[in-house]
Amino acid sequence: MIGYYILIGAIALVSWLVSSKLKSKFDEYSHVHLRNGLSGAEIAQQMLNDHGIYDVRVISTPGQLTDHYNPTDKTVNLSESVYNQRNASAAAVSAHECGHAVQHATAYNMLQLRSQLVPIVNVSSTLSQWLIFGGLILGAAAGFGFGFYIAVIGLVLMAIATTFSFITLPVEYDASNRALAWLKNKNMLSQQEYAGAEDALKWAARTYVVAAIGALASLLYWALQVFGGSREE
């Protein structure tokens, strides 16, 4: 268990460092005001219109970095700072979330796959560790008994959640690429503003990379505990 806590601690530290860097980047580029004077909400609406998407609403949501696209009710949810502000950070976030709306409208296969996994992951992420812990306690390390199979079921559920984390990566990177391509092709931003938006989205994507690596490391650790222990017998 000590090894697990060291692993979790290391992942948590890296995640904190990346998140802190992301926040500092967004704060930095929030001071780069747009020459076109458009707010995040206005940029989002224009990107949707340019892609022929008229059934998606752009709404404001409370909090900071709470921005997301909801495919269920077709809404681009922008945090209050992004929705109202007129800077490079707001432009990057609003265009990125609209990138997800474009993915939805064009039936982007990775987004569809991720959406299909959401209800499964909501269950598996909650149950997986409990099943693994329970299986190990029941004697998974002692051989191929009842406890072992319980732990394996937990590993399968954890593997689904880990797969979801990796499927999220191309979805997020693709949304950013769509956003940046539109911002550039439509000359929405100056060179300085575009550089800031691009850098901010790169750091945002890295948070998903860290999460995916952390999920994989955790899965491998518990797999070694379950299968390694059973081989000792």
Catalytic residues: 97
Spatial CA neighbour of 166 closest among 204, 207, 101, 215: 215
Kindly state the tokens that stand for 144.
């191929």
Between CA 227 and CA 113 the distance in angstroms is: 30
Contact between 198 and 26 under an 8 Å Cβ cutoff? The reply is no
Contact in structure between 94 and 151 (CB atoms under 8 Å): no
Two structure tokens written together for 231: 């081989």
Which tokens belong to 227? 């299968």
Alpha carbons 146 and 136: distance in angstroms, whole number = 10
Neighbours of 158 (CB within 10 A): 22
81 Cβ partners below 8 Å, 6+ apart? 30, 64, 90
Is-contact 189 92, C-beta < 8 A? no
- Token code pair at residue 4: 């697990």
Cα–Cα distance, 83 to 65 (Å, whole number): 11
At which residue do the structure tokens 């989002």 appear? 44
